[in-house]
Amino acid sequence: MELPNQENEMSKMLNGQVHILNQSLKFINSMSLKCALHLNIPEIIKNHCAPMTLTELITALGINKSKANCLFRLMRILINSGYFISQKISENEQGYVVAPSASFHSTKDASLIRIDVSLVAPVLQPAFVKPWDYLTKWFLNEEFCDMTPFEMAFQMSYWEYLRKEENAGRHFNESVAIDARLIGGVMIKECREIFEEIESVVDVGGGTGTASMIIANAFPNLRCINFDLEHVVDGLTSSENLVHVAGDMFQAVPPANVALLKWILHDWNDEECVKILKRCKEAVESSKEKGGRVMIIETVVNPDEKQKQVDEETRETQLLLDMLMMVLVGGKERDEKEWGQLFADAGFTRYKITPIFGFRSLIQLYP
């Protein structure tokens, strides 16, 4: 018979084994979701307009019936991850529906978006996974202090890789556009008063102009400038109140009442962020009396002692993104203290944080 303390130690060891295995195998959730999206399972089930049986799903997918049990197991892990729900149809039959928590898969609001392959694919590419094999070597070797694990793996920066690898660049641009549609939709609702009071806004690092177009369409009297590198904006079509301008945000930013930075600063180290913020400050400085400000949409990570202020999934998402930025580009997700130091170093006098973008917040900076 085991003594009580021995039983307790054994229980701890077994629980520890479960925890380590669970964490080690979590990539399977991501890869299973990727498979479901490639198979178009969410749309197939939604369009069925009723709980869909496994047999009906197999028929709709055109999958060999010998793989029925495998599809059942795929759906089981996706149900466990919260993407689908199994509903009882009859005494011996269950049907699948898309879970309310995964309702992003379809929406009638055109300013919002679906979570689809374009959003998931970039973070599941080999280019995102390979650098993690270099993380240990990166930590232990001083010669790699000026490189990221990504640069160690591919001998080029992440940005150079996106320009060189057409498919990766396309996935990246699609995912940025998807996020911009979501953020743009929230902004025109939550920031309406700001946009109605100003005359111009410049979207710094605005990519192909998705968010700028949403803002321009919602506020026809607002002059919108989509500002990014030449190869990004080249060939984009302007409209009556939207222009695309090429340039380098480290050198100068077009003047406007508001400079908008959507998920840009987490890509850069502190010194680079201060440079960008100074250029944005110069762009809005002359508009102090007209509501001039810099609007930043970024993660604000809660310190450990305040982590209970956000739900567990939100905080974990913030911390996972922080590690991703470290490995890919040498950037980071910041807490309020770190943000405050950057703002002070860039010469701003005050700021306001409003958590209205899920795991991200709106930060308003005043020159």
Active site residues: 266
Q: What is the spatial distance between Cα 278 and Cα 250, in angstroms, rounded to a whole number?
A: 9
Ranges assigned E (strand) in the chain: 84-90, 93-98, 200-204, 223-228, 242-246, 258-262, 293-298, 300-301, 334-335, 350-357, 360-366
Q: Which residue is listed with tokens 């003594």?
A: 3
From the list 122, 102, 42, 48, the residue with the least C-alpha distance to 74 is 42
From the list 74, 171, 160, 180, the residue with the least C-alpha distance to 125 is 171
**Torsion angle defined by CA atoms of residues 331, 332, 336 and 339, in that order, rounded to the nearest 10 degrees:** 0
Q: What is the spatial distance between Cα 104 and Cα 50, in angstroms, rounded to a whole number?
A: 18
Cα-Cα-Cα-Cα dihedral sign, residues 367, 247, 271, 261: positive
Contact 352, 363 (CB under 8 A): yes
Q: Of how many residues is the chain composed?
A: 367
From the list 355, 356, 358, the residue with the least C-alpha distance to 317 is 358
Contact 113, 107 (CB under 8 A): yes
What distances in angstroms separate CA 27 from CA 3, 30, 125, one per listed residue? 38, 5, 12
Query: What would the two tokens of residue 266 be?
Result: 């987490």
From the list 254, 248, 259, the residue with the least C-alpha distance to 288 is 259
∠ Cα 54 56 60 (to 5°): 115
Q: DSSP of 289-343, one letter per residue? A: GGT-EEEEEE-EEPPGGGGGGS-HHHHHHHHHHHHHHHHHTS---EEHHHHHHHH
What distances in angstroms separate CA 99 from CA 82, 104, 146, 303, 358, one per listed residue? 7, 10, 45, 32, 19
